[in-house]
Structure 1
Amino acid sequence: MPLASKVAIAIIVEAALFIALLFGAAGTLEWGAGWAWMLLMFGGGGVVTVLIARRDPALLAERMRSPMQSGQPLWDKVFLLAMGALWCAWLALMGLDVVRFRWSVMPLWLASVGAALVAVSFWLVAHVFLANTFLAPVVKIQRERGHRVISSGPYAVVRHPLYAAAGIMIPASALVLGSWCGLAFSVLLLAGIVWRTVMEERELVAHLEGYAQYAQRVRYRLVPFVW
């Protein structure tokens, strides 16, 4: 199947799933914040996808591969399944919270802050993808692609800038949707990111030449001057 067709199908399926979870839980399609979040996510994601397609089609092809691959540690397969379930539960929770049961009431200015932070996170994501052609969706060493350590761009600041961007995007999304419950639940997703960061680093130190030296030069994993 052509790469463009794979990308289009993936976007359609993902959008349909998000709509079903968010608006199905909400019980209505009349949810402005929900549609605003969808526009932010798929608008930002679309821009990043087009950018990668133009600059690094090999990376886009790698991103379109199955989330379950040979050479991928078992713990990462379990992690991706668990995070997928948590993500789906999180979206459904926010639909229930904000619209169906109206547990949360959040001021509009917080939603605006959240939208700005989501936009910033996609800006960071774009820079990360442009810097690292080996940014596979699974943990593995890509020997067939000449996998090597990347230390330029955002990787000169923190060792896992994509996870750092996700750490901004997830709680910011809860703000856009106006969900205090979603903001609290996002702690579980962030904990998952931290756990994967630690586990992935063990794989990279053990199997990717030069990574241990890189980790000594760039001290921080996710947050500069913190961790």
Structure 2
Amino acid sequence: MEAPRQPPSISPPAAIAYAIGLPLALLVLIFLPAGSIGWRPGWVFLAVLLLGFGVSALVLARVNPMIYRARSRFQPGTKDWDKALLAVILPAMVAILPVAALDAGRYQWSPVPAWVMVVGHVALLAGIAMTAWAQAVNPFFEPGVRIQSERHQCVIDVGPYRFIRHPGYAAALALFFGMALALGSLWALLPAALASALLVLRTSWEDRLLQAELSGYAAYAGRVRWRLLPRLW
């Protein structure tokens, strides 16, 4: 049998651009709509976000460093329908930040109590933790939907995959709504809801693909009945 072909490493210039560009983009998306660089909830949100993802990155670098190659780019063979869905999901996800900042930071259209923002931060950290757990045990956790034949993709049924079949997507739902609430905005729940609805559709279509084309997945789906939420769906 041919040895699995792993995705190439991300280039140093791309890694540097990502490391510099992402924080700058977050600053622009949050503080420009808020109208003030001193908006405190924005800084609290950034601190929690960067701390959560920073810790998860250190853990993943130790337990599953291959995940950085797998997630560095969309690989050949990514389904066209997935690209179409992501063309809406990703902008909707990004829109959560400026909508929340415009609402809570500049105009206070939908003021929320502090405990709601705390709930948002808890959901945010829970989503980061669940994502890291799924990535730690699943070397095939790519950004696009495809069958990774060249990597000898197989069914993963350990870690969170013992309980639900798509823990990464469940984590994304927590992240979407957590981002809106952590920034103190109810209006930002609208792009969060749009991204979530399309992500549920993506979950359904990906699950159908895996059952049809990935060896052993249909049997796994028979053992683990729930896609996203135990005892619900």
Q: Describe the shift of the 1:3–1:148 C-alpha distance in structure 2 as closer, same or farther (beyond 3 A).
A: same
Find the residue that maps to 1:188 and give its secondary structure.
helix
Structure 1 residue runs of 5 or longer lacking an equivalent are none
Per the alignment, residue 16 of structure 1 pairs with 24
Q: How does 1:15-94 map to 2 (within 5 A)?
A: 15-65=23-73, 67=74, 69-94=75-100
Out of 95, 100, 105, the residue aligned to residue 101 of structure 2 is: 95
**C-alpha displacement of 1:171:** 1.0
Q: Distance in 1 between matches of 2:175 and 2:95?
A: 17
- Structure with bigger helix share is 1
Q: How does 1:136-215 map to 2 (within 5 A)?
A: 136-215=142-221
Aligned-pair identity in percent equals 36
1:116 aligns with 2:122: yes
Contact 2:131 2:171 in 1 (8 A): yes
Provide TM-score, normalisation by structure 1. 0.92
Structure 2 residue runs of 5 or longer lacking an equivalent are 1-7
**C-alpha displacement of 1:180:** 0.9
Provide TM-score, normalisation by structure 2. 0.90
Q: Describe the shift of the 1:160–1:2 C-alpha distance in structure 2 as closer, same or farther (beyond 3 A).
A: closer
AA aligned opposite 1:61: R
Q: Distance in 1 between matches of 2:90 and 2:22?
A: 12
Q: Describe the shift of the 1:114–1:90 C-alpha distance in structure 2 as closer, same or farther (beyond 3 A).
A: closer
Contact 1:49 1:60 in 2 (8 A): no
- Single out whichever of 5-14 and 43-52 deviates more from structure 2: 5-14
Find the residue that maps to 1:25 and give its secondary structure.
helix
Contact 1:7 1:64 in 2 (8 A): no
Contact 2:103 2:187 in 1 (8 A): yes
